[in-house]
Amino acid sequence: MLSRIKNKFSKFFELISKPFLFLEPNYITILGLCFALLVMISFYYKNLILALIFLILSSLMDAIDGYIARIKGKVSKFGAFLDSNVDRLSDALILLGIGFYVENLLLSYVALISFFMVSYSRSRAENFIQRCDIGFAERAERLIIIIISTILEFFFNVLIYTLIFLTIMSFITYLQRIVYTYNKLKSS
């Protein structure tokens, strides 16, 4: 959903990218993974403040790595491949951390499966059709919801419900992509 309107945020990305322009885009991608590891550790130790800070930083790195690659003229197939793989690892670390925090690793595992299926279904579908970025629970939306829920967790116990909600929405997105791909292939 947000992937369709990200061009409207180009000024915002330009502003937040300036302090990182000295870094190579792939280093920013790896830095985002390091922040995701710190998210997991922070959640494990039940430090919501640090988890929130590192979650925002990890999400920020994911948002600007491609932008910086484009403005520096360093877009590459390997960079796209690395970014996609690091996104999956980051998702796993963040969900594992939340699983530790809410003391429900099984739920975080099921959520991880649903997150992976959203990405996998898009990847496979785009071997056969032009684009398959439909559905509510794309990565950017999931991260925003996790950030908001982490803020709310200071006042209410919402993270476990967030995991349940995101798992359901991700499985719905996965099914939407299957149906969408089926219909596109059938009509061609």
Q: Which positions are annotated as active-site residues?
A: 87
Instruction: Answer left, alpha or beta for residue 126, where phi above 0 means left and psi between -120 and 50 means alpha.
Output: alpha
Measured distance CA(118)–CA(139) in Å, rounded: 9
Residue 32, token pair as written in the block:
């985002």
> In this structure, are residues 159 and 100 in contact, taking their beta carbons and an 8 Å threshold?
no
DSSP H/E element including 62:
helix 48-71
